[in-house]
Structure 1
Amino acid sequence: MRIQPAQAARRAGWALGQAAYLLGFWGESTACNLARGARRVWNGAAARGRAFSARFLHPVWEGLVGVGRDLAAPFVRFAHGMRSIHAYVQEEKQARGTPRALAGGLLYFHRGVRLYGYLAVRAGRYIMPLLALGLFVFTVRHTLNRSFSLAVEVNGELVGYVQSEDVLEAAKNTLQQNIVSLDRSSQWQITADYTLAVDPEELLDQETLARTLLEMSHSEIQPGAAVYVDGELVLVSDDASGLRQALEALKTTAADAAGEGSEAEFIRDVELQEGIYFTSDISDETAVQEALSNTDLFGLRTVRRAVEIREIPYETVTTRSEDYRWGSVQTVQAGQAGSAQVTVDYITENGVTTEEIVESVTLTEPVTEQIVIGSRMPAGSLVEVPGYGTLLWPVPNYKYVSRWMSAGHTGADICANAGQDILAAADGRVITAGWHYSYGNYIIIDHGNGLRTLYAHCSKLYVSYGQYVSQGDVIGAVGNTGNSFGNHCHFELYVGGVRVSARNYFPNM
């Protein structure tokens, strides 16, 4: 069957109306149930509150009210009684006079005390615990605000106040650790007594207490200083500051004596050791002064620093050249000294002064001197000796030969200025170097295979017996020693062990 639109709309409206009705009915029902539940909860809580109040709060309240009534009763009764007494006294005063009125008032007051005194006792049962509690609180607070300490006494004398015994023990340990005992058997002990003190004026700390104990023990121990020299004890003084100043004064005096800019120091290891010493170990003043006046005990070194301009010596370089005759000296460059700024320390120990260069700054460089010594031999100076090698003329820088070997003369007299070089004629060994009554200072060289040479009348000998020389070595200097009448070298030649004339080999000399 086909449903018409209008019919469908009516059905839908009816359905919505039913839904709205059911929703409203459910909401109303739920609200009612909630209200009834809340009322039951409230009624139950109120009932329990009334029960709790009746069981607990009400007795407490009644107790408080009773306490208040008991506390107030004496005062209420006292006030009522005083009003009654006042009225009574006023009536009696008008009727019977003031004295009788006062006597009656006192009698009236006495009867009131007898009748109602129990009320004060009842109130006192509450008041007395409160007063006791207040007194206890007051006592505790007052006691806690007080400070307590220990009064320290040594030998019946008050030393001071400390917080605890640990302060005294720490002070004693501090002193013990600083005591220097020269006699290992010496010991320092101190015994203290303690008493309790309230609100002391001042508490001593460890350091202050240690100083106080030291002052009180002056007869046994006292602060001082010892002087050790190279680890050995010299003296002990009770004036550490004065001793230090005295040692410094020794150095100051020595420095002043050495001159301006000088400093002084001890040569030996001088050590000042401060500490606490037994009074019996302290040196007397005389011993201290004697030790300090002995400067040798410490050894003093003074150092004076100066800045000076010093000369730098020049060097001399010598060379040989055949451009010049043998022995001649030619200065090809003159030497010139330089200059330097030198910082030098003059060190004086035990009266001996040495110097030590600290710094040297060159201002001008020195100029080296260059000297050329002639090495050119005269013509014919080197000749061949058959079977023996070459032979060298012994005096290159000679003047002339005054005479040769002859029947009455054993050699050639080679004249030259005193000090001119005498050369070894050939390689060989010196077999004689010494003095002869006729030859004077003379030398004999053995060249081997019977070849020997002799050089006499030398002013100086530069070789010694047994020495090996080479051809051309300078062995002596021309002179006039022995049986001689002028500076010359007497030269003898032995070939094959036989003396021969040097002229045979040097005919052009």
Structure 2
Amino acid sequence: MSARELLEKIAVLLYAIVYKYCYLVGLFTQELLEGVVRFVSRHVRRAELRLIDFARALPPALSHLLHRLRRSLQRQRLRAGRTFGSVRVAAEQMRSGRGREGLRTFGRAGLELLRQLFPLLRTIVNLALPIAAILLLWQNVQLVGRQQYALRVAYAGETVGLIKNEAVYDRAVSQVEAKLQGSQQGTPIDFSANFELIPVGESDPLLDEYALSDKIIAASDNDITEAFGLYVDGSLIGAVAQKNTLPTLLAGLQDRYRTDDPTETVSFVRSVKVVEGLYPEGRVVDGETIGSLIDREVQGEVVYTVEAGDSPSLIAERFGIPLRQLLRNNPGIEESLLIGDEVVVDRAQPYMSVKISRVETYEEEIPYSTETSEDSSLLKGQRKVTREGENGLARVRASVTYVDDVETERNVLSRTPLREAVSEQVSVGTKLFAQTPGVYSSGTVSSNFVWPVVSARAYVSNGYYGYYGHGAIDIAAPYGSPIIASAPGTVVMATYSASGYGRHVMINHGDGVQTLYAHMSALAVGVGETVEQGQVIGYVGSTGNSTGNHCHFEIRVGGSKVNPMGYLP
């Protein structure tokens, strides 16, 4: 077989393949388009019928408008029918082997279809273009928003670098002035510079105030050297030549408070930064010098001597400090505050205060509650403990913060009960006091008096014969516990004495009987008032000649002191 014959057979084979492909495409296209035409024609016809029925019920003007719409639909349907008819003819031509004629007929049908669809395409384009413009504008806004800008700095006629904003340059100027302070300067530095806003990429480096200050100071005629500067709260303290000097000094200050607790974090209260750069030779010092600058106190200890009438809250108010700070500086001040005691109002503060935070686990008592019940066999104002209370116990896990070993904050993370608290039960008397003439002097009816201190923690700390000339009993109780009238009567004295009784009250009960209550922290009655048994007349304190919070209680009969224990229940 020659090459010519081979090419002819290949050509015949290709023609047969193309013919069959075109035949099948034409057949499929014809069936598809005929189905579409039938569907559209059926629904258009239904719409026409509905329009005709609807138009008959409308005014002539609207009826004419709908008639024109119907005619337009008919024309569109006829044009579509001709177009789809051309498609059918083209398909038939391709099936019969007239592929070239079929393609031309199919092309003319396609152009006609495009002309018919042009109004619809034009409407779609008119709607799509504004939407596309809005999307393009949004993309541009996003692009501009993501674009980063920086200032290009030109100093002394040369470009020195890029900075974020002019505030960086202002801080750099302040850094240069701080570096030159106290050193011998050459020609004064001209800090004027030119700035140009330019777009930058993420990889373009920006200078901070420290790097920019190095470039400015390098352009001066001062004697400078490479060193390591220590900045505290943004202020330059000094510079050293050796790299390890400052980290060693700073770590030594923190090690004074550091423990082996793995949960512990140690830091300085002030902002501390070590910056390598260029510094005037006059600001570079040795390690001992800069060590003395940071290891110093900036405020001395303030001590106050307690005077008559003072209390923790009054002292804190006088010096304008929180009561919590006063109690933290003076543990136990709430339990005992005597005249002449020295109270630490403020402690010495290191220049480089160290902050330590750690998680601590410890056991803590849970205070018991008190349950009261009335008892008609006890006089009003009298209290009797029928069951002792017992504190509970809990394991506490807390985050604790210290500054220079002084606790400043405590946040409880968890509390696990170990032992439940047992409530205290107290009986409170309701029986009214009945005063009978002559009953006091006999000393035989003890129920006519009640205990003068209302507190479950009260106890006799010093008896009638405790020391020479005492002539009373001392009832110790927590600071501020109520003191009540042991019997009804009239207040004949309510005053303060810097020595002796301090704040004290005397009540006349008639029949030559008087009671005296001394060393009160505050008075609740005045001279001339009539008081009932159990009425609050003052509060436990330690004023006057006293060595702790208590109530000095006397009973006088006919002007002579008697042992109160013989008259109290």
TM over 0.5: same fold? no
Q: TM-score range by the shorter chain?
A: 0.3 to 0.5
TM-score under structure 1 normalisation? Answer: 0.39
- Normalised by the length of structure 2, the TM-score is 0.35
Larger Rg: 1
